[in-house]
């Protein structure tokens, strides 16, 4: 199992979940009783940290981090109501998630390009 691919997979899941939470918060701004969501990726970040410290066991640390476990990091924020959501903050979070996603995809593309060069012997 390629640690780079697995780490990027986890990162992409986190970016997608962050974008979903921000989108849901934006959509619920003018909806009475709408839920406010926040993200907590401490479990995924701990798995990535463990993988970086133990490259030999990285596959095991990251393979257990499924998309479902990553999205478990999306939780309702009971301390906030929809009228307390600041649209500027949520749009910024959405842009951060978008930029993170594009950056990870670009990095993975370059990783595979380097692997292809190595296979060709160039």
- Domain hosting 111: range is 3-120
Max mean pLDDT among 40-49, 76-85, 102-111 falls in 102-111
pTM above 0.75, yes or no: yes
Determine what percent of the chain is predicted with pLDDT higher than 70: 98
Mean pLDDT of the chain: 89
Backbone angles phi, psi at 12, to 5 degrees: -65, -40
Q: How many domains does the chain have?
A: 1
Q: Are the C-beta atoms of residues 73 and 43 closer than 8 Å to each other?
A: yes
């Amino acid at each position: 199992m390629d640690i780079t691919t697995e780490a990027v997979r986890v990162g992409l899941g986190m970016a997608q979940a962050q974008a979903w939470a921000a989108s849901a918060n934006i959509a619920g701004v003018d909806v009475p009783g709408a839920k406010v969501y926040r993200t907590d990726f401490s479990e995924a970040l701990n798995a990535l940290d463990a993988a970086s410290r133990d490259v030999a066991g990285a596959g095991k640390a990251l393979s257990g981090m499924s998309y479902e476990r990553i999205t478990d990091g999306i939780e309702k924020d009971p301390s906030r109501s929809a009228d307390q959501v600041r649209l500027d903050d949520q749009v910024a979070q959405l842009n951060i998630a978008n930029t993170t996603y594009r950056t990870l995809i670009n990095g993975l593309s370059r990783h595979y390009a380097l692997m292809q060069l190595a296979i060709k012997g160039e």
